[in-house]
Structure 1
Amino acid sequence: MTHHVKATREIPVASADLWQTVRQMTGVEDWYPGLSRESEVLEEDGTEPRRNCLMQDGGVLKERILLRDDLTRTFVYAIDSHPLPAKNVVGTIRIDDIGDGGSHVTWSANMALDLKSADQIAAMVTGMYEAGLASLEAYHRDSQVA
């Protein structure tokens, strides 16, 4: 059964600045908690660029980048291999300008989950996205101070 998870956050950083961080194929480990080293980029210039992200617990996320749209500041990816009990995972990060140098960021995903563990896994992924958005904000706040 397909489940939809979503986390949102208003971040007091210009949408163009946030987008420059999110749209990159590398450097995710600089702002996303739980990744241990630089992403390995495969076929960056292909129609569906790919990257592997190594998690601190040793797990690997193998991603295909489906869309990086500079106009709408939308990043869509499929996770083809991961340690979670989920299938057909497609995530989206969208950054909307809300004026006065602020942004509304939405991180969502659709995924097939087993009914027995769906609520638990959905809550865990939502928490991961919330932590990622908080970390993205902190990364930009800290880089402005430095």
Structure 2
Amino acid sequence: MATTTASVDLPVSPDRVWRLVGGFDSLPDWLPFIPVSEIEEGGRVRRLTTDQGDVIVERLDFFDDTARTYSYSIVQGPFPVTDYRSTIAVHGVPGAEASRVEWSGTFTPVGIGDEEAITLFQGIYTGGLAALKRTLDA
């Protein structure tokens, strides 16, 4: 099993960041390479369409509004991995009106090596967090 984590520090309150990223259906609000998200099964499943037309189906596994975190798994997608589980968390920075957002994942590569899979998801997480920063800066 492979793992990777990306994080970004933002000069914005954790509550403001969570209002943007905390909705399981909110990816199109801050992640430009996911322009479409449709909720199914009472909000427990999201069907995403990428800017390239790929479809990704994800299931919400855990949600904690108070702790500002949720975890999800990929049910269907174009990625060369199985057993994918990811977590997004928004933490306060002690003594500051700032946040640290962490996006992490674990997965088992299929047909590629661990490092190639890690590089793939590290790029997705890093690019996504950079997009989040741009959205909040706007």
1:119 pairs, out of 115, 120, 134, with 115
Deviation at 1:70, TM superposition (A): 1.4
Question: Conserved in 2, the CA contact under 8 Å of 1:95 and 1:103?
Answer: yes
Question: Conserved in 1, the CA contact under 8 Å of 2:68 and 2:91?
Answer: yes
Deviation at 1:40, TM superposition (A): 0.6
Letter in 2 for 1:31: W
Question: Conserved in 1, the CA contact under 8 Å of 2:4 and 2:118?
Answer: yes
Deviation at 1:82, TM superposition (A): 0.7
Question: Conserved in 2, the CA contact under 8 Å of 1:25 and 1:44?
Answer: no
1:137 aligns with 2:136: no
Unaligned runs of 5+ in 2: none
| Mapping of residues 1-146 of structure 1, within 5 Å | 2-37=1-36, 39-45=37-43, 49-98=44-93, 99-114=95-110, 116-142=112-138
Letter in 2 for 1:11: L
Deviation at 1:11, TM superposition (A): 1.1
RMSD over aligned Cα atoms: 1.5
Distance 1:110 1:29 in 2: 23
Letter in 2 for 1:60: V
Equivalent residue of 1:44, what SS?
Answer: helix
Letter in 1 for 2:63: R
Distance 1:59 1:109 in 2: 20
Distance 2:49 2:71 in 1: 19
Deviation at 1:10, TM superposition (A): 0.7
Distance 2:112 2:125 in 1: 22
Deviation at 1:115, TM superposition (A): 6.9
Work out the percentage of aligned pairs sharing the same amino acid. Answer: 27
Equivalent residue of 1:110, what SS?
Answer: strand
Letter in 1 for 2:108: A
Letter in 1 for 2:55: V
Count of aligned pairs between the two proteins: 137
Deviation at 1:43, TM superposition (A): 2.1
Deviation at 1:34, TM superposition (A): 1.2
Runs of 4+ in 1 over 6 A off after TM superposition: none
Deviation at 1:29, TM superposition (A): 1.3
